[in-house]
């Protein structure tokens, strides 16, 4: 019995070819070295231990599992381990505490903001969004103009005196490539926090040190372990 040829078929529709070029699907080498994305972009990687999404922006590099391999299915590919690297090294305590201070001033209303990264200057900056409509369950805001090289590294919003969590609306909004954080219970010395990595709709909770912070509300720095005209947060 002759062996069937398994070469990938040509894509007759140029739209499919463009999509595959923008987000290719590649097998992970089993014997040779794995070469991470060197330039900003996204690709899907099929490994023996799952389907992985690989993303590089000017603010982060992420390699995260997006799907499991069925038990017993043996794939002749290499293995991968999840990674998350931040171009700026760490999220600074002073900027996050500055956002919390600003959120306490408007509580119980909500507030939205972001940590914006400038790769040319190598700096993170806290930006507070202009609220168009804000109350205890929702905030609508205007995004300030950013320089071409600037990107949102950490999306921020508060829940005032309510607990921190990501709403269904947040899940629909968080389609970018960045970290996201919600702070709540701001009437207490130690607020509640929800923290996750957003990769084009893949939403992955991430560990954070706030649950271990002292009751003074201090936030420790930690190292590497990320719309409509009026965006809204709930």
Domain contains 2: no
pLDDT on residue 93? 85
> Do residues 78 and 111 share a domain?
no
> Do residues 183 and 211 share a domain?
yes
Total-model pTM = 0.82
Q: For the chain, 234 residues long, give each residue's pLDDT as a single digit of tens.
A: 455 556 666 778 889 888 888 899 999 999 999 999 999 999 999 999 999 999 999 999 999 999 999 999 999 999 999 999 999 998 898 999 999 999 999 889 889 899 999 999 999 999 998 665 554 556 666 678 899 999 999 999 899 999 999 989 889 888 889 999 999 999 998 899 999 999 999 999 988 766 554 443 334 444 443 333 334 444
Closest C-alpha among 205, 182, 48, 18 to residue 111:
182
What DSSP designation does 216 have?
T
> Do residues 100 and 65 share a domain?
no
Question: d(Cα 125, Cα 143) in Å, to the nearest integer?
Answer: 14
- Give the count of beta carbons closer than 10 Å to the beta carbon of residue 125: 14
Where in the sequence is the domain holding 182, given as residue range(s)?
Answer: 90-233
Closest C-alpha among 177, 174, 154 to residue 57:
177
Note whether 88 and 221 are within 8 A (CB): no
Number of folded domains in the chain? 2
């Amino acid at each position: 019995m002759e062996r069937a040829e398994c070469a990938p078929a040509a894509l007759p529709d140029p739209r499919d070819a463009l999509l595959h070029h923008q987000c290719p699907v590649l097998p992970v080498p089993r014997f040779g070295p794995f070469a991470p994305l060197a330039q900003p972009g996204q690709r899907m990687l099929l490994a023996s231990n799952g389907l992985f999404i690989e993303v590089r922006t000017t603010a982060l590099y992420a390699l995260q599992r997006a799907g499991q391999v069925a038990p017993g299915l043996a794939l002749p590919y290499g293995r991968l381990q999840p990674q998350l690297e931040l171009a700026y090294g760490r999220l600074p305590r002073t900027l996050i505490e500055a956002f919390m201070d600003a959120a306490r001033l408007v509580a119980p209303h909500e507030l939205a903001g972001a940590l914006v990264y400038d790769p040319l200057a190598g700096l993170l900056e806290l930006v507070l969004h202009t609220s168009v409509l804000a109350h205890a369950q929702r905030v609508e805001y205007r995004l300030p103009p950013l320089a071409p090289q600037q990107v949102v590294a950490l999306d921020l919003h508060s829940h005032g005196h309510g607990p921190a969590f990501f709403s269904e609306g947040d899940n629909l909004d968080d389609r970018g490539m960045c970290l996201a954080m919600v702070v709540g219970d701001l009437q207490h010395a130690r607020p509640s926090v929800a923290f996750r990595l957003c990769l084009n709709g893949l939403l992955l909770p991430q560990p954070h040190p706030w649950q271990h912070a002292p009751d003074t509300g201090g936030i420790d720095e930690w190292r590497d372990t990320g719309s409509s005209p009026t965006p809204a947060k709930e």
